[in-house]
Amino acid sequence: MYYQKHKPAPHLAPFVECYFVWEKADLLLQPFRIESPPTGFASMVFTYGDPYRVRTQKQTTLVPVAFLTGQATRQYELELSGRIGMVGIVFRPAGLSTLFGLPMYEFTDERIALNDVLGSSLNDLHEQLCESRTTTGRIALLEQFLNRQLLRRGDHFDRTDYAANLIVDKRGVLTVHELMDDLYVSRRQFERQFLQKSGR
C-alpha cells in the first residue's frame, strides 16, 4: 500500500496543506477498514480505484467518486475494498472557502459530490486524473487546476485565513484574546467570518 503527501507550490501554501495519493495496485482480498480522527482540514478527493464507503455514528454511505468534504468534527471509518486509488487536495482551514467562495459551515461532516457543488466542469479534471499513470502527473493536474482558480478568484488571503492558519500552526495553543489583538477586529465579526470560511 502506498500513501504519500506532496507539498504545494509556495504561492499556494497559504491555502493548501498538501496533496495526497493513496494506492494499492493489488486487489484487497477482504475489506480494509481504517479509522480517521476529527480534523480541521477540508479536502477535495478524486477516486480512480474502486468505490468505497464511509461509516459514521449515524450511517454507512457510498462515497461519491469525486467529492468535497469539510471539517470532520467526529471520528469516522473508511471501508475500502477492491483496488485503492485516490488523489486529493487537503486545504488549510480557510483555503477552500477563499479559493472557491464556499460557505464551509455547509460542508462540516459531509462528503458532497463535486458536481453538485462546483458543476460538471470538474468532470474533465477527474477524467484526466483517472487517465494519468503517474503520481507526478496527477499532482501537476491538481496544481494547474488550483493555479487557474487562484487566477480567476485572485489572492483573497485575509485576516480570517491568517487566523485559521495561525491556530493550526500553533496547534491550537493560543487564546481568542491573542487573536483579537493581532487582527484588530471585533470578536463577533471574527466569529461570523471564521464560521463562513472554516466551518466551525
Q: Determine contact, residues 199/71, Cβ cutoff 8 Å.
A: yes
Q: Kindly report whether the global pTM for this prediction surpasses the value 0.85.
A: no
pLDDT at 38: 87
- Residue 200's nearest CA partner among 55, 74, 58 is 74
Tallying the residues shown for the chain, one arrives at: 200
pLDDT at 31: 86
pLDDT at 162: 63
pLDDT at 9: 95
- DSSP string for residues in 132-179: --SHHHHHHHHHHHHHHHHHHH-----HHHHHHHHHHHTTT-S-HHHH
Pairing of β 60-62 and β 16-36: unpaired
Mean pLDDT in consecutive groups of 10 residues from the start of the chain, 200 residues: 94 94 89 89 95 91 95 92 95 88 88 92 93 96 94 69 63 64 66 64
Cα–Cα distance, 107 to 198 (Å, whole number): 10
Which pLDDT tens digit goes with each residue over 113-168?
999 999 888 999 999 999 999 999 999 999 999 999 988 876 666 666 666 656 66
pLDDT at 182: 64
What residues pair up with 74 in beta bridges, in sequence order?
none
- Residue 76's nearest CA partner among 108, 102, 45 is 108
| Stretch (H or E) spanning 29 | strand 16-36
CA 42 to each of CA 82, 134, 178: distance values in angstroms, whole numbers, following the listed order: 26, 24, 25
C-alpha cell at 15: 491555502
pLDDT at 188: 73
Side chain identity, residue 82: G
pLDDT at 183: 61
All structural domains of the chain, each given as residue ranges with its CATH number in brackets, are 2-153 (2.60.120.10)
Query: Which residue stretches of 7-52 are H helix?
Result: none
The three-point CA angle 186-187-193 to 5° equals 90
- Residue 124's nearest CA partner among 95, 152, 101, 144 is 144
pLDDT at 58: 83
What 3-state DSSP class applies to 98?
helix
Q: Which residues contact 53 (CB under 8 A, 6 or more apart)?
A: 60, 61, 62, 63, 78, 79
